[in-house]
Structure 1
């Protein structure tokens, strides 16, 4: 999934709200994932929606990987029906139904004629109605938050692609919804559960005391999470072992001869940030190195804040000025790299930097950034499989899975 997918989905949703349209539409996502497209604004989303006026829900559910809660365009022309197919093919409605549902024996020649007519006039069997009769939608709900303009989220792009592809292998599609706030996200869950629009939810960016998790646990509704929460809450999750990853990074820096190693950390409210900071402290302690209080510089996951925090680290007195920085994201690591150059340091030989996520851009930085790669494809596969099993009533082989990241060493370590 290319890096603009979040803006693409957001622009469509904004367009839907501005036009006061129906709350659900299916939008096909381009498969050209490696191309780089310009930023998609709300007007661009409206333009795309204007081109899908005849998009039928059954077509979307069958052909699309990702669906977006967005406006449903008014249909200019009535969609072809099973009666139209029967009339054009010169057969009964029951015969057409038998072809699409495999409920009766139909000769090969007749079957082929029915399928050719259906293709020619644009008819698709109403998969949505069939699924509703079976008390299932074959949809997983996934809500996400728009990110600040000075930030990026390579993990989100790869994660959305991963759950979409993994879900499709289990015959599920992903219904996405951009939530402006926690209250908005909770309202999305409540609405989807009330109308039976999805079979289960995939959550991300979990936290301690996460009210979303508590609400879904109380409702007994199927869900899985990318991330952990309260240890006493029993729910299925998959997470990256951030503590182990940062330990690996710090150990590598120590092996390169560094002793004054700083950490660009997230705010204290971040659960995954707490795990990663614990890994930093563990690695330093095990190596017999003291951690100066000033070496832990907290910042939001935004370039400007990370750059400012890194400048503070590199402005410390020479005796405690760090020679290496491990950051909790690649975006923060980029801030550290540029801070190093700004302060006259040669990044790599004089200042080592390691990030977290291994975003595609890391290999094109000056110098290329060492980073911890998250197994996003495996995470998506495991989450989709777990949720498909939950929705089908099958027992889970594993309810809680912790995966280790891999350190990708490049020139930023010297």
Structure 2
């Protein structure tokens, strides 16, 4: 014989089926007395004795920027997001499944067994997001979604303000011809950083110099023509994690000393930049705080759906500029040669 349904329990306990679901799954914001009464009613009716236990609540996390397969956990930013998101999910009683960055298998997203999804750097026309929305699965974004809807939730930095802070810092150090290494993806981050840089240049009557980021360009060959040109830049802001290492390699090939002839700033969470020669000035986007905020929003959406769900919109996480010698600063204990 089948066991009692949620409707049977709700009728006996004189509550809604949503309250029963929250009480049995440990979710929602129920009073202790209500939660206990519902569980006692369910036990009295034989709930759970003739059926399997409910599955563990699960969140998913993935990057959907690029269609090809790539291991985003090797990038310091994403690695820290995954680690912090796992800890935050466990604190809220959820498992966290890290999904591969393969957009070719779109069908899998129509049967993915998750209670909610954290999507990082979602581009416009993202088929994964369309599938999740169609299934009614709550989604929270790390970064502005490519196709935002009025009820969406996302956590992001102020990339316009951060980019301008970097450029102002380089200009204050004496740089007059600043280039940008920016991404060629369709995610909001690449578009926002590039737009801020172009606006900053236009306000000063400077020609924008943009070098596309290549994820497989370990030696920074994309910089060679620019750095060896008749009028090379005297500073570069690399908006992606490997950019600082790429620039140091390219500057060495071009015979340019950092920071004497080329100042360098890189957006990265890689602690190795503090030990390069010279140490590289970095921008931290605080992925740990971003992940905790995103998981908190996602759990609140799942547990308060239809009742006390959080208000939609953006949560802003401050970025920070960690100044080191590569951008013209001279910290104590560092001597320029």
Q: TM-score range by the shorter chain?
A: 0.7 to 0.9
* Worse-superposed segment, 276-285 or 165-174: 276-285
How many angstroms does 1:218 deviate by? 2.6
Match of 1:240 among 157, 160, 163: 157
1:138 aligned residue: 57
- CA deviation vs aligned residue, 1:57-103 (integer Å, no higher than 9, x gap): xxxxxxxxxxxxxxxxxxxxxxxxxxxxxxxxxxxxxxxxxxxxx97
Structure 2 CA distance for aligned equivalents of residues 330 and 189 of structure 1: 28
Match of 2:257 among 337, 346, 352: 346
Which digits, 9 at most, give the CA deviation of each residue in 1:310-349, with x for residues without a partner? 11210121xx310000111130121111111121111112
| CA shift digits 1:252-282 (9 cap, x unpaired) | 0011111100111211634321111112122
- 1:201: Cα distance to partner? 1.2
Question: Is the contact made by 1:247 and 1:282 (CA closer than 8 Å) also made in structure 2?
Answer: no
Task: Name 1:69's counterpart in structure 2.
Answer: none
Contact map agreement 1:358 1:373 (CA 8 A) in 2: yes
Deviation at 1:230, TM superposition (A): 4.0
Gaps of 5+ in 1: 1-101, 104-127
Aligned equivalent of 1:383 = 294
Bigger fraction of residues in helix: 1
What's the offset of the Cα at 1:398?
Answer: 5.0
Aligned to 1:324: 235
> How far, CA to CA, are the matches of 2:321 and 2:312 in structure 1?
26
TM-score, normalization by structure 1: 0.61
**Aligned-residue CA RMSD (Å):** 2.7
1:256 to 173, 179, 201: 173
Q: Is the 8 A contact 1:245 1:279 kept in 2?
A: no
**Tell me, what secondary structure is at the counterpart of 1:264?**
strand
Aligned ranges 1:29-40 → 2 under 5 Å: none
Choose the corresponding residue for 1:208, options 121, 124, 129: 124
Given the alignment of the two structures, is residue 312 of structure 1 paired with residue 225 of structure 2, yes or no? yes
Structure 2: runs of 5 or more not aligned: 1-38, 41-50, 329-337
Aligned pair in 2 of structure 1 residues 240, 308: CA closer, same or farther (>3 Å)? same
Residue in 1 that maps onto 2:18? none
C-alpha separation in 1, matches of 2:273 and 2:125: 34
Q: Does the residue aligned with 1:303 lie in a helix, a strand or coil? A: coil
Quote the Cα distance in structure 1 between the aligned partners of 2:132 and 2:317: 24
Equivalent residue for 1:217? 133
Q: How many residues align?
A: 275
Higher relative contact order (CA 8 A, sep 6+): 2
- Alignment partner of 2:313 out of 383, 399, 410: 399
Q: TM-score, normalised by structure 2?
A: 0.74
